Amino acid sequence: MKSKMKWMRSPKQLFISVGLLIGLVLPNSLLWTPLANSQEAMKPLSPRFSPDPQVYSGTTSGSTSLQSLAGLTQVNGACQGMANQTANYVLVTEKPFGFLSLKVIASGKATLLVKGPDGIYCRDSSKPSLEGTWAAGRYEIWVGSQTGESIPFQLSISETSQ
C-alpha cells in the first residue's frame, strides 16, 4: 500500500513538523522564559520624548549592598539595601534635561541608586524617586530592596512631575 503522506519522509521530519505546529499554537509566554535578572532595554532619551512616561518592568534581586555599589565618592542620599552587582538599567540622555523624573513603583520597600555624569544618588522610601535637572550622558540605575528579597517593580521616567 502506497502512503499518501509524501511530505513526511522520516521520524525526524515528523518531530520537526510537530515542533513547528506547537510553536505556532502556543503563546510565546509559554515557550520563552526570561533570565531571572534580565530587564528591558532602555531607549536613549532626548527632551520631548514620547510616550511620556517611559515605563520599564523588573524584579529586584541581589546581595550586594548599595553602599558598596555607590563607592567611596560623595553620595547624595543614604544608600541602604541590596541589589545586583550589575545595574538593572543603563539610561543614556542624549541632551540635557531641564526636568526629568525617575520613580520606582514597587509592591514592597524598594531602593534606588543612580550613578551618572553629575553625581551618585541614593533613594530609599516606599516610592523612591529622583527628579530635577539631568545632564546629558550615561546613567547606571540599580533598583534594589531593603533586605535583598525579590520585589516586582516598575521604573517610570517622565518629563513631568509624577
pLDDT digits (tens, 9 = 90+) for 51-76: 999 999 999 989 999 999 998 676 78
Checking if the pLDDT of 4 tops 90, the result is no
pTM of the model: 0.73
The CA angle 155-41-152, to the nearest 5 degrees, is 40
Cα dihedral: 159, 59, 33, 158 (round 10): 0
**pLDDT tens digit string along 97-144?**
999 999 999 988 899 999 999 999 999 887 899 999 999 999 999 999
d(CA 98, CA 6): 68
Q: Residue 98 corresponds to which cell in the numbers above?
A: 531641564
The more confident residue out of 21 and 42 is 42
Domains in the chain (CATH in brackets) are: 54-158 (2.60.120.380)
Scan for cell 525617575, then name that residue.
102
